[in-house]
Amino acid sequence: MSETPDKEDELAGTEQPFVQHLMELRDRLLKALVAVGIVAAVLFFFPGPGRLYDFLAAPLVAHLPQGATMIATSVISPFMVPLKILLMSAFLVALPVVLYQVWAFIAPGLYSHEKKLVLPLVVSSTVLFFIGVAFCYFFVFGQVFSFIQGFAPKSITAAPDIEAYLGFVMTMFLAFGLAFEVPIAVVVLARLGVVSVDKLKSFRGYFIVAAFVVAAIVTPPDVVSQLALAVPMCLLYELGIWAAQIFIRTTKAPEDSAESAS
């Protein structure tokens, strides 16, 4: 009785020496740094670090009292803060190139079904992070600053420090960017078999409570920002459950698909 020959490994013969892997990693990192540097050079001349900070501060400035401005309490803050904004903006603009270099480094070592798993997650997680940051800037900031200024006593003139404002903005951007990654976390957990889709559905109530607790911790102590973070997290959890069911079906390994069919 003849035995069926094993299917040829599609990665057979693609192994490279460890030193060659390190050299390729170095080249990919250099290309990513060059991309960030080029974008930073362009942003330095247009629109410039000062205008970038003005754009970032626009939601707060729009709600300050008439004639009030932001202040710098440190001697070097007027130089360092816009420079930090410049580098952050350059990294975000060049992020697609950086992620492409990461993908180009790891893709040769992945099977076809693994590429179907990794690439959509990389792209979708990046897009969702940008959506979270944009949602925070264009919607949440305006509501939060308007709410806060409504409680400010008339005897106090608001003059926020530019460095403190930068720290606040970075915290909020990171919180909303990561919160919008909830569908990715749900999909990965379900795809790796850590938790089933049915279990995820049964955890809805616990996740809602956890979302409001997280929102209360990472956002300012106002109802607006807490709701603006917790409600999208709950909706994105539902989106993640729906996406996980589709993702599991479309990224099965060939042998898993054959077993399911049999």
Q: Could you read off the pLDDT tens digit of each residue along the chain, which spans 262 residues?
A: 444 445 555 555 556 677 787 888 899 999 999 999 999 999 999 999 999 999 999 999 888 878 778 888 888 989 999 999 999 999 989 988 888 888 888 877 777 766 777 778 888 888 999 999 999 999 999 888 888 877 777 777 778 899 999 999 999 999 999 999 999 999 988 888 888 899 999 999 999 999 999 999 988 878 888 899 999 999 999 999 999 888 887 766 555 555 555 5
- Predicted local confidence at residue 160, as pLDDT: 87
Which residues partner with 161 through β-bridges? 71
Instruction: Give the Å distances, CA to CA, from 217 to 84, 91, 211.
Output: 26, 28, 10
Contact 94, 175 (CB under 8 A): no
pLDDT for 4 equals: 46
**pLDDT value of position 116:** 72
For residue 119 the two structure tokens come to 């690439």
Cα(182)–Cα(177) distance, integer angstroms = 10
pTM: 0.82
